[in-house]
Homo-oligomer: A and B are copies of this chain.
Amino acid sequence: MAALERAGQRLTPQRLAIAEALARTGKEATVQELYDQVRRKHPYIGRATIFRSVDMLVEAGLAQRLERPGHVSAYIWCEPGHHHHLICTSCRAVEDLGETLVAPLAKSIARERGFRVDHATLDFYGLCRACAAKRGKPAAS
């Protein structure tokens, strides 16, 4: 959590609580979920603070906004340099994925299509090892 200090931001109890909540779940979390979670210890925290704090975390490179299907933004804690993920659609656990997979792709795209890649989204959705083992087949809807 010392990463927060390194980000050159003020270390308030709220921010700590939010960062901690996000880091601890190991899953993607919406603002509402973080709000519910953090409110157990900070009953007077406001939703706006969550929004402002996660924005700050994203800018500091400590979190990432997942543009996930369904119009609600979710956030995940992430170590610098790990901006791609495996996201379990069952338990919502998130695993990091390094840049190593994307870098060669970006390079070949630049070469073959003349496209100058700035950044890329690469996220895999599916079942994590545990969930895949639990149910061999995806659950029927």
Contacts and interface: CB of A to CB of B under 8 A. Distances in A.
Q: How large is the interface on A (under 10, 10 to 19, 20 to 34, 35 or more residues)?
A: 35 or more
A15 B115 CA distance: 32
Given A120-B124, A122-B122, A86 B115 contact: yes
A24 interface: no
Most buried by B among A68, A88, A89, A120: A120
A6 interface: no
Contacts of A69: 65, 67
State how many copies of this chain the complex holds: 2
A45 interface: no
Given A73-B71, A106-B124, A114 B89 contact: no
A116 B127 contact: yes
Contacts of A88: 115
Interface string A80-112: 000000101100000101000100011001000
Interface of A: 65-69, 71, 73, 86, 88-89, 95, 97, 101, 105-106, 109, 113-129, 132, 138
